[in-house]
């Protein structure tokens, strides 16, 4: 019986990039499928049903954002964007259209594999709808069911808003969550553009959870885009 | 001619022609007297008078007022003396002749005066016409002027001439000051009093100075140069003859002129500013095109290098030896690619800045082609390049390094845009006084209509893959070929494929090196 290795679809037009992606991912026990155009990529996504899709935005035949749209119309497969475009606007757009994460070129394979692992973990979790058991990373332990947060064993008290904010980040641990999503989920449609509020609350959370709020270990800011709860 | 000149002319010529005219008058009168005397037996006194009248008229129409008057008086007197009885005496026997004589005298004097007046009027009209012509001329020159300073100089010179005055064009400098930009003879100085008046004029947009209601104590007459109602400067005018201040007619004319000058000045200034803005916008555009192009094209090879290197370093990578080799190769290739981009960019910057001096040496084209092909050996990877360079091809002055670059860029393009294995050809032959070189391929050819555009900076082909390269290769080729004095262009070959041709001049005298 063939081992069921997770399949990763690589949609990228530069051959050398495909090469190092393939070689390192295969070295990490993934199966890879490659395509150099959007059209080919879309068809391979349908035929191979990969676990993860790595998508370059600068494809020759179709804009990457369009590809995200098309993919999201029929699949929830995690999409990780690889792009030379580093502007925040591009990142936000991609994430809002449904991408799960965003890596700016140049990046190291270490970063990439970490993000892929996060994406896979979330995949396996979203299968069941039950609320997961306590989340733990480093010194931080969060029990969403019991609504308890511990740092180094000591219980920390959070206001309802702070807790709500943290739980969203915990549920998407390791992934980049846009400000818009956070605002919408915590404050509802009235949240709108109040990223100022968000900043204040994240600041407060950091002071409660981080050993050194100025050099956060868990609550990472992605400037201009959103926040990420880092899993170690 | 100016009024002054007319008067001068009159004075001078009248002095000179006075001489002649008096002489002429005497001759005429002499003739009259003689003919009258001769005809006195045949003609009536009234008709004899006509002879004199004709004579007087002849002088009066031609001569100046002096001789005319002289002729009238002398004519009447000689008529009196020679013709009116008693002849050869002045006092007429019949007193009615006195009336005749007086009336005739008055008559002739009046006519002479009228004639003189008419002449004077004609001359004035003439001078007015000339002045109008001068003004039209000024208008035309103003309209044609593209240079702000030049415009002011032209205007001030013309006005000085037309109005017989000293002029100065005062333009705003720093803060509150007006500075003389044209005109101005040292005699006309701009001391604080005059500055005050000038500034007043500039601020309020109204005339002032000598002859005006505002600041009449000033030494000159100041007129604002208006453009759409706003002052852009001040015209200062000072009549040369201080005893003859400007008439109100002249003042009005000067104002009209000042408006015209103001408008022209503003137009030129706006044109200059617009040009500057346009240039700035173009530079900005070029710069952002460069930035975005560079940003993307540097990131991609860097991404490969980072990705490949981090793969090699990954402790959990489990890479086979073959895999490691491939990754290492990629790192190497991509760093070379980066190097090429940067070289191209630098090259282009240097060429654009015009700082490149060609180091031309007489050499055979083959050498340069050979150099380029050997540098490209690896990239050609066994692909054949046909060379058709006749043995008797003359040597010509070339900058080896830059010319090699031209061939390298053209061949690289062929490699990029044509299918592997398809032929690439380089040919050269002498045509008229230059050498024509062609680099051609059998690929898909150039997009129809883009044959000229391909040479633009940052032009990239719309081919099937996103090609590497910043898009400067061909613009570098053009810069180098043109620096050599040649021409470069692109064509599509009817049988399929693209052909890049350029000409290089063959110099007949062996110059070892030279700047272009």
Spans of all domains in chain A:
7-126, 135-229
CB-based contact B310 A109, cutoff 8 Å: yes
In a shared domain, residues B495 and B368 = yes
Distance CA B397, CA B364 (A): 9
Question: CB-based contact (8 Å) between B420 and chain A?
Answer: no
Co-location of B191 and B132 in the same domain: no
Q: What is the pLDDT of residue B191?
A: 75
- B2 or B245, higher pLDDT: B245
Q: By CA distance, what is A37's nearest residue in B?
A: B465
Domain-ending residue, one of B97, B115, B137 = B137
The hierarchical CATH code for the domain A135-229 is 1.10.10.10
**What digits encode the pLDDT tens for the residues A177-189?**
988 888 888 888 7
Query: Can you tell me the mean pLDDT for B152-181?
Result: 80
So what's the pLDDT on residue A131? Answer: 55
Give the residue from chain A lying closest to B303, CA to CA.
A106
Pick A20's closest partner by Cβ from B295, B316, B330: B330
Are residue B92 and residue B205 in the same domain, yes or no? Answer: no
pLDDT in tens, B293-340: 667 778 888 999 999 999 999 888 788 899 899 999 999 988 988 888
CA distance B36 to A231: 140
Q: What is the DSSP letter of A188?
A: G
B453 in a domain, yes or no?
Answer: yes
B190: in domain: yes
Q: Could you tell me if residue B452 is inside a domain?
A: yes
Of B137, B166, B184, which marks where a domain is finished? B137
Please indicate, yes or no, whether residues B128 and B160 belong to a single structural domain of this protein: no
CATH of domain A7-126: 3.40.50.2300
- As a whole number of angstroms, the distance between CA B262 and CA A120 comes to 76
Q: Would you say B220 and B144 are in contact if contact means Cβ atoms under 8 Å apart? A: no
The count of domains in chain B is 3
Residues paired with residue B430 on neighbouring β-strands, in sequence order: B435
User: Is B317 domain-assigned?
Assistant: no
Same domain, B155 and B208: yes
Assigned domain for B408 exists: yes
Between chains, do B303 and A110 touch, taking CB under 8 Å as contact? no
Enumerate residues 316 to 375 of chain B having a beta carbon within 8 A of any beta carbon in chain A.
316-319, 323, 326-327, 330, 333-334
Lowest mean pLDDT of A103-107, B5-9, B502-506, name the range.
B5-9
In tens, the pLDDT along A34-50 reads 999 999 999 999 999 89
Alpha-carbon distance of A96 to A93, in angstroms, equals 5
Residue B187 and residue B132 share a domain = no
* pLDDT at position B465: 43
**For the domain that residue B483 is a member of, what is the CATH number?**
3.30.565.10
Distance CA B164, CA B4 (A): 9
Residues of A with CB under 8 A from a CB of B: 13-14, 16-17, 19-21, 23-24, 27-29, 36, 58, 60, 84-85, 105-110, 113
B330–A21: do the CB atoms touch at under 8 Å?
A: no
Q: Establish if B299 belongs to a structural domain.
A: no
Q: Is residue B64 part of a domain?
A: yes
A160–chain B nearest CA distance, Å: 42
Residue A68 — pLDDT band, cuts 50, 70, 90?
A: very high
Q: Stretch B118-146: mean pLDDT, rounded?
A: 81
What pLDDT was estimated at residue A222? Answer: 83
Does B162 share its domain with B71?
no
Tell me the mean pLDDT in the region B191-209: 84
Give residue for tokens 């002027």: B145
**Owning domain of residue B451:** 361-505
Which whole number is the average pLDDT over B115-134? Answer: 82
**Radius of gyration of the CA atoms of chain B, in A:** 45
Answer yes or no: is B226 within a domain: yes
Question: In chain A, which residues have their Cβ closer than 8 Å to the Cβ of B299?
Answer: 84, 105-106
pLDDT at B175: 67
Is A27 within 8 Å of B316 when comparing Cβ atoms?
A: yes
Q: For testing the chain A interface, which of B300, B321, B326 should be mutated: the one with the most A CBs within 10 Å?
A: B300
Average pLDDT over residues B260-273: 87
The whole-chain average pLDDT of chain B stands at: 81
Q: Do B311 and A109 touch (CB under 8 A)?
A: yes
Min CA distance, B304 vs chain A (Å)? 5
Paired tokens of A178: 């846009």
Name, in order, each residue with C-beta under 8 angstroms of B433's C-beta and a sequence gap of 6 or more. B505, B506
Mean pLDDT, to the nearest integer, of B359-367? 84
CATH of residue B209's domain is: 3.30.450.40
Question: For B377, phi and psi rounded to 5 degrees?
Answer: -45, -50
Alpha-carbon span B242 to B268, nearest angstrom: 34
State pLDDT tens for residues B412-440. 888 888 888 888 999 999 988 899 999 99
Are B132 and B149 within one domain? no
Of the candidates A25, A2, A1, A3, the one whose C-alpha atom is nearest the C-alpha of residue A12 is: A25
Chain pair A-B, CB pairs under 8 angstroms: 87
Q: Which residues from chain A sit within 8 angstroms of residue B337, using beta carbons?
A: none
Residues B129 and B159 in one domain: no
B102/B230 same-domain check: no
Query: Of the residues B274, B293, B318, which one is the last residue of a structural domain?
Result: B274
What is the pLDDT, as a whole number, of residue B411?
Answer: 92
Chain A residues whose beta carbon lies within 8 Å of the beta carbon of residue B319: 23-24, 27
**pLDDT for residue B515:** 44
pTM comes to 0.52
Least confident of A222-226, B184-188, B258-262, B349-353: B184-188
Q: Is the ipTM of this complex over 0.95?
A: no
């Amino acid at each position: 019986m063939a081992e069921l290795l997770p399949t990763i679809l690589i949609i990228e037009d530069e051959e050398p990039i495909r090469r190092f992606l393939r070689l390192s991912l295969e070295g990490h026990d993934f199966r890879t499928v490659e395509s150099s155009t959007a059209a080919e990529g879309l068809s391979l996504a349908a035929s191979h049903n990969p676990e993860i899709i790595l998508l370059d935005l600068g494809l020759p035949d179709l804009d990457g954002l369009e590809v995200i749209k098309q993919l999201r119309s029929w699949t929830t497969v995690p999409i990780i964007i690889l792009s030379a475009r580093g502007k925040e606007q591009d990142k936000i757009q991609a994430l809002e259209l449904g991408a799960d994460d965003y890596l700016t070129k140049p990046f190291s394979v270490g970063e990439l594999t970490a993000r892929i692992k996060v994406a896979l973990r979330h995949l396996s979790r979203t299968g069941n709808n039950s609320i997961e058991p306590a989340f733990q990373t480093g010194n931080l332990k969060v029990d969403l069911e019991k609504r308890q947060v511990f740092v180094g064993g000591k219980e920390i008290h959070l206001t309802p808003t702070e807790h709500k904010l943290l739980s969203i980040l915990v549920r998407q641990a390791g992934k980049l969550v846009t400000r818009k999503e956070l605002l919408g989920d915590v404050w509802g449609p009235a949240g709108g553009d109040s990223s100022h509020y968000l900043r204040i609350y994240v600041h407060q959370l950091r002071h409660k959870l981080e050993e050194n709020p100025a050099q956060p270990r868990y609550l990472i800011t992605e400037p201009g885009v959103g926040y990420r709860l880092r899993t170690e | 001619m100016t009024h002054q000149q007319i008067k001068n002319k009159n004075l001078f010529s009248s002095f000179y022609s006075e001489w002649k005219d008096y002489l002429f008058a005497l001759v005429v009168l002499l003739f009259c007297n003689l003919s009258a005397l001769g005809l006195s037996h045949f003609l009536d006194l009234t008709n004899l008078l006509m002879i004199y009248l004709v004579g007087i008229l002849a002088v009066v129409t031609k001569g100046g007022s002096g001789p005319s008057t002289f002729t009238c008086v002398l004519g009447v007197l000689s008529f009196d003396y020679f013709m009116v009885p008693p002849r050869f005496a002045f006092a007429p026997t019949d007193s009615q002749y006195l009336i005749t004589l007086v009336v005739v005298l008055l008559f002739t004097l009046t006519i002479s005066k009228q004639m003189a007046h008419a002449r004077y009027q004609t001359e004035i009209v003439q001078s007015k016409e000339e002045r109008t012509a001068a003004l039209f001329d000024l208008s035309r020159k103003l309209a044609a002027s593209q240079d702000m300073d030049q415009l002011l100089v032209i205007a001030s010179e013309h006005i000085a001439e037309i109005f017989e005055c000293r002029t100065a064009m005062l333009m705003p400098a720093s803060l509150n000051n007006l500075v003389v930009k044209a005109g101005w003879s040292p005699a006309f100085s701009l001391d604080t009093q005059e500055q005050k008046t000038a500034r007043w004029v500039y601020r309020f947009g109204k005339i002032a100075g000598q002859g005006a209601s505002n600041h009449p104590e000033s030494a000159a007459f100041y007129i604002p140069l208006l453009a759409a109602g706003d002052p852009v400067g001040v015209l200062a005018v000072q009549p040369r003859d201080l005893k003859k201040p400007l008439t109100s007619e002249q003042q009005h004319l000067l104002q009209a002129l000042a408006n015209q000058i103001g408008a022209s000045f503003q137009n030129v200034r706006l044109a200059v500013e617009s040009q500057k803005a346009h240039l700035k916008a173009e530079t900005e555009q070029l710069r952002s095109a460069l930035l975005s192009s560079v940003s993307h094209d540097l990131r991609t090879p860097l991404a490969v290098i980072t990705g490949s290197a981090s793969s090699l370093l990954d402790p959990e990578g489990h890479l086979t030896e073959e895999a490691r080799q491939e990754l290492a190769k990629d790192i190497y290739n991509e760093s070379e690619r980066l190097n090429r981009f940067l070289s191209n960019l630098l090259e282009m910057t240097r060429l654009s800045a015009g700082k490149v001096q060609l180091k031309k040496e007489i050499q055979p084209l083959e050498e340069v082609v050979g150099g380029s092909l050997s540098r490209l050996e690896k990239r050609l990877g066994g692909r054949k390049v046909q060379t058709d360079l006749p043995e008797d091809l003359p040597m010509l002055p070339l900058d080896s390094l830059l010319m090699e670059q031209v061939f390298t860029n053209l061949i690289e393009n062929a490699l990029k845009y044509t299918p592997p294995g398809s032929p690439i050809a380089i040919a050269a032959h002498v045509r008229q006084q230059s050498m024509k070189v062609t680099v051609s391929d059998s690929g898909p050819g150039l997009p129809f209509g883009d044959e000229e555009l391909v040479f633009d900076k940052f032009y990239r082909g719309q081919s099937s893959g996103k090609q590497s390269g910043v898009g400067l290769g061909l613009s570098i080729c053009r810069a180098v070929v043109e620096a050599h004095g040649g021409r470069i262009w692109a064509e599509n070959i009817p049988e399929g494929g693209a052909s890049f041709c350029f000409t290089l001049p063959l110099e007949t005298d062996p110059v070892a090196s030279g700047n272009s």
